[in-house]
Amino acid sequence: METNVLYYGDNLDILRKYIPDGSVDLIYLDPPFNSKKDYNILFKEDDSQWSPAQVKAFEDTWRWDAQAEAAYQEVIDTSSMRLAKLISAMREGIGANDVMAYLVMMATRLTELHRVLKATGSVYLHCDPTMSHYLKLVLDQIFGPRNFRNEIVWHYRKWPTGRLQFQRNHDIIFFYSKSESLARTFNQLFMERAASTLQRFGTKKIISGRDQTGQRIPSATMEEDSLGVRQDDVWDIGRVPPIKQLFPTEKPLALLERIVSASSKEGDVVLDPFCGCGTALVASHKLDRKWIGIDITHLAIAVMKRRLQDHFPGIRLEIIGEPMDLPSAQELARQNRYQFQWWALSLIDARPMGEKKKGADKGVDGVIPLVDTPDKKLKRIVVSVKSGKVGVGILRELRGVIEANNDPLGILLTLESPTEPMVTEAAAAGFYESPIWQKKFPRLQILTIADIFQGKRPNIPSPMPPPKAATINHEGRQANLI
């Protein structure tokens, strides 16, 4: 099994296709919570005069449809009798609605996660009180109530919402082990003593007990320092403030470090099947664990790839499921135009532009920030991505945008080859001379996806990330090595 790898795709398919039985030591999953909201990523530059771009990262709205009905039937037909009975009773009680659609989606995935977990392994399911009561019933059926270890309350503070109720300031994390075996991995963690204990005994070990007659002996301190008190199940850890988030719903690294430290050893394999911007993967890498991340959007994969590279320069990681050749890029464009766009932008390190574009930015899909003057003014290289037919009109539109906004450069990234008039139009746009580089760059550039596969990159003044080091092909699947 490959490790230190990011998979793009639906985790149900990836788990079934690539992850063998009993191969993972620790699973952390932070799935959508059925919050009925869309989650947006805000792309913004530090100290920038640009307005931030907002791009929908994922949807958390569920509905009962043919897919939910099929998932329900699958649970009834193929899972254990206990789970099938529970799910069918829940449908009876709750009805065929959004909650049930969410629960069958989770039941099929939790069944696969149980399969891939080692006998000594643990799973941590992150959710909130909207669904936690239902999810615990499902977990009990799949992992067994005897393997329930903790309901961890992650407490944080956030802006008050002003409803006529108490402020909701916690998430729930269910911790189950695969078995009751005493060989299961658990490293005891400690927390600080209560203030009153610290005041009375300081940090030294305390001995207390009873004498032979059963009378309490007054507590006394020893020479040795105490490790603290055993970590309990209410964790006070600050949230990542929205302004600092790389990704909506990003969880704090300290939370993930605690889970990884408690339930795995160095060299163990940690799996996050809903990995978002990869907090669990960063914590695992930092603590010398191997890791596997899965996410269903190229946006998350691109953010995660950048984050891992920023945290661990020179890291060797593999991405499986990204297009590796023209036919697979065409297939992605056919399946989902937005996923194609995000993937294409990540190839040249451009950030998505977001849905709310001003009229003046018509046709612009992404931007690459550029600073090339002594006054450090932020400029933008604008990028337009096309997966369908292209003609000279598209290029004229892009030229119009850069001239109207005084942007130094424009790039058209296209799946189809450009026509002759397009090449002529690009040449007619002339050159941009960069003050710092003291070099001229073609103002309008056309790059095809085939060019990118052949290693070509835009000719622009800002430093580009290193090109992909190698491409490998594992039996029946392809991967990018970066």
Ligand X SMILES: C[S@@+](CC[C@H](N)C(=O)[O-])C[C@H]1O[C@@H](n2cnc3c(N)ncnc32)[C@H](O)[C@@H]1O
Residues of this chain that interact with ligand X (CB under 6 A) are 10-11, 30, 32, 58, 247, 249-251, 274-277, 279, 294-297, 300
Smallest distance from the beta carbon of 118 to ligand X, in angstroms? 22
Distance between terminal CA atoms of the chain? Answer: 19
Whose Cβ is closer to ligand X: residue 202's or residue 242's? 242
Whose Cβ is closer to ligand X: residue 122's or residue 147's? 122
Whose Cβ is closer to ligand X: residue 43's or residue 432's? 43
Whose Cβ is closer to ligand X: residue 67's or residue 219's? 67
Whose Cβ is closer to ligand X: residue 124's or residue 432's? 124
Smallest distance from the beta carbon of 176 to ligand X, in angstroms? 18
Whose Cβ is closer to ligand X: residue 10's or residue 416's? 10
Smallest distance from the beta carbon of 109 to ligand X, in angstroms? 7
Smallest distance from the beta carbon of 263 to ligand X, in angstroms? 16
Smallest distance from the beta carbon of 259 to ligand X, in angstroms? 11
Smallest distance from the beta carbon of 440 to ligand X, in angstroms? 41
Whose Cβ is closer to ligand X: residue 247's or residue 340's? 247
Smallest distance from the beta carbon of 297 to ligand X, in angstroms? 4
- Taking CB atoms, the residue at the shortest distance from ligand X is 276
